[in-house]
Amino acid sequence: MLTQKTIDIVKSTAPVIAAAGPAVTQHFYQRMFRHNPELKDIFNMSNQQNRDNDDPSSQQQALFNAVCAYANNIDNLAVLLPAVEKIAQKHTSFLISADQYQIVGSHLLATIDELLSPGQEVLDAWAEAYGVLANIFINREQEIYQENDNKAGGWRGMREFVVTEKQQNSDVITSFTFTPADRGQVADYKPGQYLGIYVTADELEHQEIRQYSLSAAPNNANYRISVKRESQGLVSNYLHDKINIGDKVKLVAPAGDFFLNVEPQTPVTLISAGVGLTPMLAMLETLTQHQAAVNWLHATENGHQHAYKDHIKTLANHHQHITALTWYNAPTATDRPAEDYDYQGLLELNNIAAQISDPTMHFYCCGPIGFMQFIAKQLIELGVTSDRIHYECFGPHKVL
C-alpha cells in the first residue's frame, strides 16, 4: 500500500507533469529506445510516428493520458481498474514480462528527473507509486497468461500455425484462416477479442507484432482474421502480399476486454464501419441462435470495399431475428439500392430510431474513431445510457 506521504507528493506534482505536456512521453520513448533498442521488436513503431511536427504520436498520447489518470486517481485505484484490464489484456498479446516493467519504470523516472528536476523526495514517491501500479499489471497479466495456458487447446507464449485459407473479401480486406501446425485444438475465445500475430521478415527492420480481431465465431479448430490493407501498413501489406496458404506464422493466444456479453433475452445492435466489422462478424455468427432481436448496421464507402456482403445477407435471410442494414457513403454506378445497400451517406440512426428503441438493447460499435464518436453522440441523443454502449479502438485506446 502507498503511504499517505507518497500519495500527497504524487498528487501535488501531477499538475507539473501535466503542464509539461506530451513532451514527457516523447522524451521517455526516445530515451528508452536509445538505451533499450530491443524494445523496438515489441512496440509498434508506426504508432511512434507523429502525424505532423506538433502533434504527439498516438502511442505517446496514450501513455501521457495514462500517467495523468494514474496520478489523479492514485488514492482511488478502483476507478482505474477498467483501464488496467484493457492494457493488461493487450500486454499479454505482446508477451510483456515483469523485467520489462523495471526497464520502463527506470526510464520514466529518469525522464521526470531530466526534464523537471523535482528532487529526490519526489522521485522516490513516483518510484513507489510506479512500483505499486506495475505490480497490479504484473499480477493481472500473470493471471491471464495462466488462464490461457489452462484452457483446452490453450498455450502460453508463441505457437506455430499454418495458413490454411486466404480469401479476398473486398478490394481492401483479405481473410486468413490459421490452423495449429501441431494439429491440436485451439483455445476458445470470446467474440470480439483479438489474436496476436508475430511477423519477422528480411524486408522488415524490426519484429512486428499486431493484434487483429477474430472475425469468426469460435469453432475449436482454427482462427480467422480479416485484415485491411493500409497504404502505409507494414504488416497489413506484408500479409496481403507475402503470406499464402501453407505458410507458417507465430500466434499468441486470443485476448481483449471488448467482447459480446449479454443474456440470451437481451436485444443487440452491432454497428461498424469499414474493417470495424471484423469483431462484429464474430459476434453476429455467435448470435445466430440468440433469443432476442439482433441488428447489423454497417457503413462502408461502396460495393468495392464492402466485405462479407453475401455472408451477412445469408445469415439475415436464414435467421428471422437478425436484421441487416448497410450504408454506402459514395455508391458506384454499379451499386444497386435496396440490393447492395439500404441507405446512402452517413449512418444516421434517426432513420431507424424505432428499431433500436428497446431500453434493454445493448450496442457494440467498432470503426474509425470519428465514426464511433459520431455514433456515440447519436446514441446518447436517442437516450441510450453509456452502460449499454460498448466499443473497440484499433490501436491505442481513446475515450469516445
User: Residue 88 has which C-alpha cell?
Assistant: 493488461
Cβ-contact 220, 172 below 8 angstroms: no
pLDDT digits (tens, 9 = 90+) for 330-352: 999 999 999 999 999 999 999 99
Sole residue written with cell 530491443? 38
Q: What is the pLDDT of residues 260-287, one digit of tens each?
A: 999 999 999 999 999 999 999 999 999 9
What does the pLDDT read at residue 51?
Answer: 43
213 is in an annotated binding site: yes
Residue 106, all three cell numbers: 527506470
pLDDT of residue 48: 62
How is residue 252 written as a grid cell? 499468441
Question: Helix, strand, coil shares of the chain as percentages rounded to 5?
Answer: 45, 20, 35
Residue 376 gets the label, from left (phi > 0), alpha (psi -120 to 50) or beta, of alpha
How is domain 4-150 classified at the CATH fold level? Globin-like (1.10.490)
pLDDT in tens, 216-236: 999 999 999 999 999 989 999
Q: How confident is the model at residue 400 (pLDDT cuts 50, 70, 90)?
A: low
DSSP, collapsed to helix, strand or coil, labels residue 36 as coil
176-211 residue pLDDT tens = 999 999 999 999 999 999 999 999 999 899 999 999
Q: For 252-256, what is the mean pLDDT?
A: 97
Q: Any known ligand binding at 183?
A: no
How crowded is residue 364: how many other Cβ atoms within 10 Å of its Cβ? 25
Element (H, E) at 389: strand 389-392
Q: Is the pLDDT of residue 46 over 50?
A: yes
**Rounded mean pLDDT of the chain?**
93
Of 65-69, 167-171, 203-207, 290-294, the one with minimum mean pLDDT is: 65-69
When pLDDT is cut at 50, 70 and 90, the band that residue 61 belongs to is: confident
For a pLDDT cut of 90, what percent of the chain falls above it? 84
Q: Is pLDDT above 60 for 64?
A: yes
Return d(Cα 192, Cα 281) in angstroms, integer.
8
56 is in an annotated binding site: no
Residues 107 and 35 sit within 8 Å (Cβ to Cβ): yes
* Radius of gyration of the CA atoms of the chain, in A: 22
- The reported pLDDT for the residue numbered 45 is 72
| Residue 119, marked binder | no
82 is in an annotated binding site: no
Helices (H) and strands (E) in the chain, counts: 10, 12
How is residue 224 written as a grid cell? 480467422
Whole-angstrom distance between the N-terminal and C-terminal Cα of the chain?
32
**394 annotated to a ligand binding site:** yes
Instruction: Give the tens place of pLDDT for each residue, 104-138.
Output: 999 999 999 999 999 999 999 999 999 999 999 99
What are residue 225's phi and psi, to 5 degrees?
Answer: -125, 155
CB 273 within 8 A of CB 347: yes
Task: Look at residue 44 and give its three-state secondary structure.
Answer: coil
Q: CB neighbours of 257 closer than 8 A, spacing ≥ 6?
A: 82, 85, 86, 89
pLDDT at 43: 86
Model confidence at 1, in pLDDT bands (50, 70, 90)?
confident
pLDDT of 18 reads 87
Phi, psi of 328 (to 5 degrees): -105, 125
For the cut 50, the answer to whether the pLDDT of residue 91 exceeds it is yes
* Residue 347, C-alpha cell as written in the block: 449512418
Determine if residue 396 is labeled as part of a ligand binding site: yes
| Topology (CATH level 3) of domain 158-255 | Elongation Factor Tu (Ef-tu); domain 3 (2.40.30)
Please indicate if the annotation marks 31 as binding a ligand: no
Band (pLDDT 50/70/90 cuts) for residue 38 is: very high
CA-wise closest residue to 112 among 40, 48, 25, 179: 25
Measured distance CA(279)–CA(261) in Å, rounded:
13
Is 212 known as a binding-site position?
A: yes
Q: Is 231 labelled a binding residue?
A: no
- Candidates 29, 70, 130, 141; catalytic one: 141
Q: How would you classify residue 355: left for phi > 0, otherwise alpha for psi between -120 and 50, otherwise beta?
A: alpha
Of these residues, 101, 223, 328, 364, which one is catalytic? 101
Beta bridge partners of residue 231, listed in sequence order: none
**What's the pLDDT tens digit per position in 167-177?**
999 999 999 99
130 is in an annotated binding site: no
Distance in angstroms (rounded) separating the CA atoms of residues 140 and 88 = 7
Q: Is 91 annotated as a binding residue?
A: yes
153 annotated binding-site participant: no
Say if residues 98 and 131 touch (Cβ distance below 8 Å): no
Cβ contacts of 278 within 8 Å, gap of 6 or more:
212, 213, 214, 215, 225, 226, 366
Domain boundaries, the chain: 4-150, 158-255, 268-392
Whether 141 is a known active-site residue: answer: yes
Cβ neighbours of residue 51 under 8 Å, at least 6 residues apart? 57
**pLDDT confidence of residue 52:** 39
Three-state DSSP state, 376: helix
What is the rounded average pLDDT of the residues 236-244? 97
Q: What is the CATH number of domain 268-392?
A: 3.40.50.80
Q: Is 50's pLDDT higher than 60?
A: no
Q: Where residue 54 falls among pLDDT bands split at 50, 70, 90?
A: very low
SS3 label, residue 224: strand
φ, ψ for residue 204 (rounded to 5)?
-105, 130
C-alpha neighbours within 13 Å on the C-beta side of residue 185: 13
